[in-house]
Chains A and B, each alone.
Chain A
Amino acid sequence: GAGVSQTPSNKVTEKGKYVELRCDPISGHTALYWYRQSLGQGPEFLIYFQGTGAADDSGLPNDRFFAVRPEGSVSTLKIQRTERGDSAVYLCASSLFGLSTDTQYFGPGTRLTVL
């Protein structure tokens, strides 16, 4: 596709449920990033993939959060036993090689609401 796409656009779930958020990066981009944006804040880094492997997962808040990118393209962010504090917009970005010089292109995000 022409840009980064994310599905679903909005997700409402109940506390304790499991959710999956999907990111489809720009074709050919080897680097993929997940960020979380809470209300009134800037995005915060969660995890970075280079190809299929997680090169940096230092931003994942706890072991309820997990992400995969099995074929080096689409990525899924998985949240177990959701809590109300997980409510936020989850943004995905991709870049060509993951170099510091590369621009990160963002998707429109998934707004997660945990009731």
Chain B
Amino acid sequence: AQTVTQSQPEMSVQEAETVTLSCTYDTSESDYYLFWYKQPPSRQMILVIRQEAYKQQNATENRFSVNFQKAAKSFSLKISDSQLGDAAMYFCAYRNSDKLIFGTGTRLQVFP
């Protein structure tokens, strides 16, 4: 069975600085997708970035980028130039069929 592990329950960063959130996963599949979702207090899960496992190039979306290490089954999220609005729960997720499998989340605090 596939599993997703986020080992950092909480992280904090100063505004304008860079922070990296860690995620590892376990699967025997070779073709799958990885995601980072943001969940603010409003509860709505918002897609931040996605990575296709067959792509070697790391995905980037503005200030958000990933470090995808397929052999190590690692998928970390880097947030550059952190903003107060980035404060939220961040969930790493895996998908190779219909369902998403989520980690337990990392709470990110951003200090001015």
Q: Give me the interface of A with B, judged by CB distance under 8 Å.
A: 31, 33, 35, 40-45, 48, 55-56, 59, 89, 91, 93, 98, 100-101, 103-109, 111
Contacts and interface: CB of A to CB of B under 8 A. Distances in A.
A93 B39 CA distance: 14
A56 B50 contact: no
Interface of B: 4, 32-33, 37, 42-47, 50, 52, 91, 93, 95-105
A41 B102 CA distance: 9
Contact of A109 (B43, B52, B97): B43
Nearest to B102: A42
Contacts of B93: 42
A94 to B, nearest CB: 12
24 contacts: A41-B104, A42-B102, A43-B100, A43-B102, A45-B99, A45-B100, A48-B98, A55-B98, A56-B98, A59-B99, A91-B43, A93-B45, A98-B98, A100-B32, A100-B33, A100-B98, A103-B47, A104-B47, A105-B47, A106-B45, A107-B44, A108-B42, A109-B44, A111-B43
Contacts of A103: 47, 50
A48 B99 contact: yes
A43 B45 contact: yes
Contacts of A55: 98
B44 A106 contact: yes
B43 A89 contact: yes
Contacts of A44: 102
A45 B95 CA distance: 11
A56 B103 CA distance: 21
Contacts of B101: 45
Nearest to A35: B100
Contacts of B100: 33, 35, 43, 45, 104
